[in-house]
Structure 1
């Protein structure tokens, strides 16, 4: 019988999920039998009422697996038994079985979800053995559609139509079989119709049926209804099977509802359930750490990895470490480090950075432990860089007194024979620079030599190029800009044989530009001299094959144009020739040109006006 379809708006179905008006139900859900005038329905065949049903069922199962004689031969020959297990079971000849055996085979195929075989047996019973369609046959046909690969909800709808056409009414057993199929193949309309049908006939939904209902709701994405159904089952004392609870964890986790999945798993753990699968724990740890759900990740880690129950891969461990870092849980972060260390993991800068962030994120922040991590990194040949100290930089800038406290803590660590990396001292300098305190930054710089590694003997300093770049930035942001201190730092850099970088020249240019702009209104000659030094440093930089940043080039060209210095056009010419090496030049280079042309024209007009004014005064 063909399957009738219900023409309904999908959006309307979503907005009205519990609608169950009988007039709108499709014909395939009308389970009422048609009126019969003469004949009455035949008595229903029940498997439990046939004599010797258990023995017949065992015989059918034996036949299904190869027959008694083959089994005896396999038992006598272990080698043949092993070979038989490698080969598929031969398909039995259904036509040679007795009717009773066929009914038993039908039940077995239904339970195994072999819908094709179940249909074949049913057709033999009806067409060849002249069995009248009955509830047992339709129950088996419907139940066989629980197969995820071969079953289908639309086929169940056809069986329900055939059932009604045969004048039979579905009993509670068939209704529960439909619910079991709908737990695998979602059909919201059919489920609603079956529930209404059961309600109208006072059929009580069994505990297994309630679990099938919840599973179907999960599969169709009705999570709130599924959770409500779960709460009702647990509240009424209904035993919820582990497979359904596992399904809740997996489905809610995939939908991003990790906190709900965690609540279900935690309740199972707290109730003393010991049958929770290792796969469920591993999935929860993976999903919770990937979503940075701290409570779920910490719960899964402490109850599995810390107990030796799981050994997660490095990627999951890194996610747990990141989760602990964001939540400010140094204990969990340390557990992850300990676990990775025991199996010989190679640590990276990121591992130490996350551990440091975890200590700073604690309440209250543990500054000394965070600084101690910086001293551990050089021992692993991973000297800290500016990237690993960002959280420390943010924390120290909340209170100026913390900078001095951090310096004192570093002194204590150095006294305890801990190697103090230059990155830790550069951090303190950067904190003073961000507060535009040049003198405090220079004070830390002058103390750097006192933190030199003891094994290397006394050294004038072990400052690196990052140290000098930070101090040059401080010379520019100071008020007034200190170009003399910048020149001293350059000479110091050369004396220590520290190799400058492009950023060193860039910041040196900015120092002289800022100082020149400061002196021009006061002392024009001094301002022009400083501007000339800025251009020279730019020229030296170009000869080395480097170019300043876009903003530095813009300021240099504009400042030269404002004083009528024709070298501004040289700067623009070089930028045009090497524009591909300057980030942002292709999109914003034309703005610089227009800006320079504008200030150049203004300067020329101002100069012409001054000359004309001087000529008038001379003539007068």
Structure 2
């Protein structure tokens, strides 16, 4: 009959620490003790202790009656493994810094070697020194086991687990080491778990981390701040950003110490992944704790915030670093700051960025002034925005239509700004030279918000504002919005008076207006002139566009209703340009014929006669299968 098993849990060990020694002594006294296993090191970085370097029989049993008694004694002394009172700290430090071929090992005492391992575990804690110490740890442990006859113990496992925090280590090696400790019933310590968590921060393994945390809870081992920090970094490396932030937030709320480089790591990773709000909050938290933020971190924050148009972070980083002349960002970052501030209407920050760029002897371009103009229009300051165009003109940068889009959009959204813009034009004219681009954008904005008459009246005063007179861009919005043939003809004559060449959009407007509201013969003439070789329509690389299609259909419908056979010539001309409207023309003929039939029935019932359009449409309907085109 087998003896009853006694369960020794964490609480019992807390109440009676000597129970470990007692039960361990009984375990080694059993008739059939467990079979020991060799210390396996699967990681390539620590192959020096692998069985390939010697037969496994060379290793002694991990547990014996003598060792059990020794461990029991050491546990009562706080697990101070063979530490001699006479060891000097300088000798231990010298041994800890030894390099290949490790000649100092032969002359060092066993206690000194153990003390160097303790110094490695307590002093390095996964810093950059692990890279140079990992190989040394493996050599020391191999020397202790093979040359000094030492048995594998907890300190050796602790050092090996921590050594895997090197970039050449792995989570799989840690997993095997922990499994070996369980299989050999090695004495566990809190340090083993914390070193494993630190290693998993470098080589993330979500499942292994959860297993370790679960075992720590079962053994009533609480994570110290270093362990919580390692878990947070591991979650961050795993891409579980919310859980990582939750761990970091827990440490901050509990006033647990967080190393500065951990904050830096979170800022870099979150910023690169697009979580700019969270990165900025961490920076705010660091500054609230009076912690110094490195300049390279500030540079990164300013860069990502300005790129992401994060105004709060951009302004905060700029005021903290660039204003006091602590940081000199690149011209690209300064331009991003201008664009970010212009969206929020912060003209002050835009001006600071422009002055900073000027102080670097960098020539200002249109993009810098456009950002300043955008910042003024964001708050409805139309006069200063138009003044920026005047400054650009004075500096030799002729502003074009693309530079005035923010002004146009603001005028289009708010009709009340149109009057202010007109007043600003005449006010600026009294102080400086107003470029035609400023005049054009006010006309375009007035047309865009439905104030065509006001735009036309302003055009008539163009000479009062701009001495050089209008250009083709001045007329384009007027032509596109005009619905009166007489006004269109007036604008056409104005362009001819200023010796301006009509472009395709203006010719399209002429055809549209006369097709819908004026004389279709004039519309046909404008269309013919534009389509012939060298005309504005002929110059287009692609004629088959939506706007051109609507223009041609309007002309076709008018010709069909007027009974003009030129409709088929229009069809053939468009077909040569890649726009086949045959099906649309047939649909128009059927539509007009049906309307004519309904009108004939209505007039017959009332005793009336046919209308002229009915006869014209009917005749076209009869002749449509031929689709013969008349020459232009």
Instruction: Give the TM bin, normalised by the shorter chain.
Output: 0.7 to 0.9
Is the 8 Å Cα contact of residues 99 and 125 (structure 1) preserved in structure 2?
no
- Give the alignment partner of residue 448 of structure 1, picking from 462, 465, 489: 462
- Give the alignment partner of residue 410 of structure 1, picking from 422, 425, 428: 425
Q: Tell me how far apart the structure 1 counterparts of residues 453 and 534 of structure 2 sit (CA, whole Å).
A: 32
Is the 8 Å Cα contact of residues 444 and 477 (structure 2) preserved in structure 1?
yes
Q: Tell me how far apart the structure 2 counterparts of residues 442 and 175 of structure 1 sit (CA, whole Å).
A: 81
Q: 1:123 to 1:562 in 2, by over 3 A?
A: farther
1:142-291 correspondence to structure 2 within 5 Å: 142-147=161-166, 149-274=167-292, 276-291=293-308
Is the 8 Å Cα contact of residues 465 and 498 (structure 1) preserved in structure 2?
yes
Is the 8 Å Cα contact of residues 267 and 279 (structure 2) preserved in structure 1?
yes
- Give the alignment partner of residue 487 of structure 1, picking from 486, 489, 493: 489
Q: Tell me how far apart the structure 1 counterparts of residues 291 and 82 of structure 2 sit (CA, whole Å).
A: 35
Note the C-alpha offset of 1:179: 1.7
1:499 matches 2:518:
no
Q: Tell me how far apart the structure 1 counterparts of residues 617 and 488 of structure 2 sit (CA, whole Å).
A: 41
- Give the alignment partner of residue 474 of structure 1, picking from 478, 481, 502: 481
In structure 2, the gaps of 5 or more residues are 1-22, 30-64, 597-611, 620-632
- Give the alignment partner of residue 367 of structure 2, picking from 334, 350, 360: 350
What is the RMSD computed on CA atoms of the aligned residues? 3.2
Write the deviation string for residues 145-178 of structure 1: whole angstroms up to 9, x where unpaired. Answer: 111x211111111111222233322212222211
Q: Tell me how far apart the structure 2 counterparts of residues 265 and 489 of structure 1 sit (CA, whole Å).
A: 60
Q: 1:94 to 1:49 in 2, by over 3 A?
A: closer
Note the C-alpha offset of 1:247: 1.6
1:428 matches 2:427:
no
In structure 1, the gaps of 5 or more residues are 1-31, 65-89, 453-458, 517-526, 580-588, 615-620
Is the 8 Å Cα contact of residues 33 and 168 (structure 1) preserved in structure 2?
no
Q: Tell me how far apart the structure 2 counterparts of residues 146 and 597 of structure 1 sit (CA, whole Å).
A: 79
Q: Tell me how far apart the structure 1 counterparts of residues 539 and 25 of structure 2 sit (CA, whole Å).
A: 92
Q: 1:463 to 1:509 in 2, by over 3 A?
A: same
Is the 8 Å Cα contact of residues 322 and 354 (structure 1) preserved in structure 2?
yes
Q: Tell me how far apart the structure 2 counterparts of residues 609 and 289 of structure 1 sit (CA, whole Å).
A: 67
Counterpart of 2:584? Answer: 595
Range that drifts further, 243-252 or 345-354: 345-354
Q: 1:102 to 1:568 in 2, by over 3 A?
A: farther
Range that drifts further, 505-514 or 202-211: 202-211
1:439 matches 2:453:
yes
Counterpart of 2:575? Answer: 576
Note the C-alpha offset of 1:368: 2.2
Q: Tell me how far apart the structure 1 counterparts of residues 618 and 572 of structure 2 sit (CA, whole Å).
A: 34
Note the C-alpha offset of 1:131: 0.6
Is the 8 Å Cα contact of residues 562 and 616 (structure 2) preserved in structure 1?
no
Q: Tell me how far apart the structure 2 counterparts of residues 559 and 286 of structure 1 sit (CA, whole Å).
A: 59
1:29-40 correspondence to structure 2 within 5 Å: 36-38=27-29, 39=65
Is the 8 Å Cα contact of residues 33 and 164 (structure 1) preserved in structure 2?
no
- Give the alignment partner of residue 293 of structure 1, picking from 284, 292, 310: 310
1:96-115 correspondence to structure 2 within 5 Å: 96=106, 98=108, 100=110, 102-103=113-114, 106=117, 111=124, 112-114=129-131, 115=134
Counterpart of 2:354? Answer: 337
Write the deviation string for residues 326-383 of structure 1: whole angstroms up to 9, x where unpaired. Answer: 2222222222222112213333333333222222223xx3222222212222123333
Range that drifts further, 592-601 or 296-305: 592-601
Q: 1:599 to 1:152 in 2, by over 3 A?
A: same
Note the C-alpha offset of 1:299: 0.8
- Give the alignment partner of residue 145 of structure 2, picking from 126, 129, 133: 126
Q: 1:201 to 1:543 in 2, by over 3 A?
A: closer
Q: Tell me how far apart the structure 1 counterparts of residues 376 and 187 of structure 2 sit (CA, whole Å).
A: 68
1:525-540 correspondence to structure 2 within 5 Å: 527-539=519-531
Counterpart of 1:546? Answer: 539
Q: Tell me how far apart the structure 2 counterparts of residues 202 and 613 of structure 1 sit (CA, whole Å).
A: 99
Name the TM-score, length of structure 2 as normaliser: 0.75
Q: 1:194 to 1:539 in 2, by over 3 A?
A: closer
Q: Tell me how far apart the structure 1 counterparts of residues 226 and 586 of structure 2 sit (CA, whole Å).
A: 84
